[in-house]
Amino acid sequence: MPDAIGTVGIVLAIPGVVDLCLKYGDFLKRKIETYRHIQEIARLDHFVVELVQGELHTLLTFFSSVHAIQPREDHTRTLFEQLRLLLERVLAQFPASDPGVWVKVKFSFHGRKSLENACGELEQWYIRFLRRAVVFLIFGGSETTAAGSAAMGHSQILSRIQRIRRAILDPVPESVTTKLQLDVFESSVILRQLDGSSVYASDVGPELVEYRTYDAHATPGEINATRSLVRDFAAGLHESDPSTMGLLRCNGFSAEPVRYRFALRFQYPLGKTRPHTLEHLLTHASNRSPGIRHSLSDRIALVRKLASAVLYVHSCGFVHKNIRPGNILIFDTMAPEGTNPAKTAFPNVIGEPFLVGFDSVRKATAASSMILVEEWKKNIYLHPDRHRMAQGDEFTMRHDIYSLGVVLLEVSLWDTFTNKETGIGKYLWEKRDNERVLRTPEGLHNRYLEIARSQVPRVFGDKYRDVVISCLEGLRDEEEGGILNDQDGIIVGSAYISQIMTKLEEISL
Q: What is each CA distance from 64 to 17, 60, 151, 357, in whole angstroms? A: 9, 6, 10, 38
Return d(Cα 395, Cα 398) in angstroms, integer. 8
DSSP H helical segments within 205-353, as ranges? 220-237, 242-245, 278-282, 296-315
Q: How many structural domains are present in the chain?
A: 1
Domain presence at residue 381: no
Domain presence at residue 371: no
Return d(Cα 469, Cα 451) in angstroms, integer. 10
Domain presence at residue 47: yes
Instruction: For residue 276, give the nearest of 179, 353, 166, 376 by alpha carbon.
Output: 353
Domain presence at residue 20: yes
Q: String of b and e for 45-78 (b: at least 16 CB within 10 Å)?
A: bebbebbbebbbbbbbbbbbebbeebbebbbbbe
Domain presence at residue 271: no
Instruction: Provide the residue type at 118 as one letter.
Output: A
Domain presence at residue 104: yes
Instruction: For residue 496, give the nearest of 122, 68, 74, 59 by alpha carbon.
Output: 74
Return d(Cα 41, Cα 93) in angstroms, integer. 12
Return d(Cα 242, Cα 214) in angstroms, integer. 29
Backbone phi, psi, residue 475, to 5°: -65, 140
∠ CA 434-438-439, nearest 5°, is 100
Instruction: For residue 369, give the nearest of 378, 359, 377 by alpha carbon.
Output: 359
Domain presence at residue 246: no
Return d(Cα 197, Cα 324) in angstroms, integer. 10
Return d(Cα 29, Cα 51) in angstroms, integer. 10
Would you call 12 exposed, middle or buried from its count of C-beta atoms within 10 A (0-12, 13-18, 19+)? middle
pLDDT in tens, the chain (509 residues): 443 333 344 445 777 777 888 888 887 877 777 666 555 577 777 777 777 777 677 777 777 776 665 555 456 677 778 888 888 888 777 766 665 544 454 555 455 667 777 777 777 777 777 777 766 666 655 455 555 555 545 456 556 566 555 555 555 666 667 788 898 888 778 888 887 788 898 887 788 999 999 999 999 999 998 888 888 888 878 877 787 778 899 999 999 999 999 999 999 988 888 888 999 889 887 777 666 567 888 889 899 989 988 888 887 777 888 899 999 999 888 877 777 777 777 777 788 899 998 877 665 554 444 445 568 888 899 988 877 655 545 677 888 999 999 999 999 999 999 988 778 999 999 888 888 888 999 999 999 999 999 999 998 999 999 999 999 998 877 666 677 765 555 667 777 877 888 888 888 76
What residues contact 295, with CB distance under 8 A and at least 6 apart?
509
> pTM for this one?
0.76
Domain presence at residue 145: yes
Q: Which domain holds residue 152?
A: 3-169
Q: Would you say how long the chain is, in residues? A: 509
Instruction: Provide the residue type at 292 as one letter.
Output: I
